[in-house]
Chains A and B, each alone.
Chain A
Amino acid sequence: AQSVSQHNHHVILSEAASLELGCNYSYGGTVNLFWYVQYPGQHLQLLLKYFSGDPLVKGIKGFEAEFIKSKFSFNLRKPSVQWSDTAEYFCAVNANTGNQFYFGTGTSLTVIP
């Protein structure tokens, strides 16, 4: 069965600090990878996604993620965080042939002004 691991449960950063959130998955086949964000009191939103091609994916709000197939990883990065980035971040994996997503437990990011 597929699984997704997010090792950082809670991250606290000061504004302008760089961010990297880890995501590892277990699945031997072709996968599609996603990062979702949930701002306080709001719904889950798609931040970025990877299907194929360039393993470095650019998303909204200055976020990017790099797919490293050999490491089964899809880490989320942002060079300089803002207070408005405070949110819960979820990594998700979907097998290329299926319609079921597997989500990680989420990482809570708090950015201090």
Chain B
Amino acid sequence: ETGVTQTPRHLVMGMTNKKSLKCEQHLGHNAMYWYKQSAKKPLELMFVYSLEERVENNSVPSRFSPECPNSSHLFLHLHTLQPEDSALYLCASSQEATGPNYGYTFGSGTRLTVV
């Protein structure tokens, strides 16, 4: 384990379902991120939370809704997804006081399949 825990590891959902991805970190970091990893495409940054406030939202469709209730937990709420949203969703954290220069710590990801 890396200190960043994502659940569930695998998720299959229909296009009309509502589900949530959960990320939890025990590293004392104060910034958390959602990334989408699709085959043969660059890692795409979806959301950044710094000190529990959202600072980046790279034009992600509204069917993805993040929530960061505290510095240790990050959620990604999903509703009415499309098949092209099937991908590996990665959570990461970093310590902003020392800067992201020290690199992220990634979770193992949630493999999402939309049917």
Contact = CB atoms under 8 A, between A and B. Distances in A.
A94 interface: yes
B42 A94 contact: no
Interface in A53-85: none
Interface residues of B, number: 26
Grouping DSSP codes into helix (H, G, I), strand (E, B) and loop, the B interface class, with mixed when no group exceeds half, is: mixed
Contacts of B90: 43-44
B96 A99 contact: yes
B103 A4 contact: no
B40 A105 contact: yes
Interface residues of A, number: 25
Contact of A43 (B43, B56, B101, B106): B106
Given A9-B40, A90-B43, A99-B50, A44 B106 contact: yes
Nearest to B56: A100
A98 B50 CA distance: 12
A42 B1 CA distance: 10
Nearest to A102: B42
B48 A100 contact: yes
Contact of A4 (B42, B92, B100): B42
Interface in B96-110: 96, 99-104, 106-109
Given A99-B100, A100-B45, A100-B48, A43 B2 contact: yes
Interface of B: 2, 4, 31, 40-43, 45, 48, 50, 55-56, 90, 92, 94, 96, 99-104, 106-109
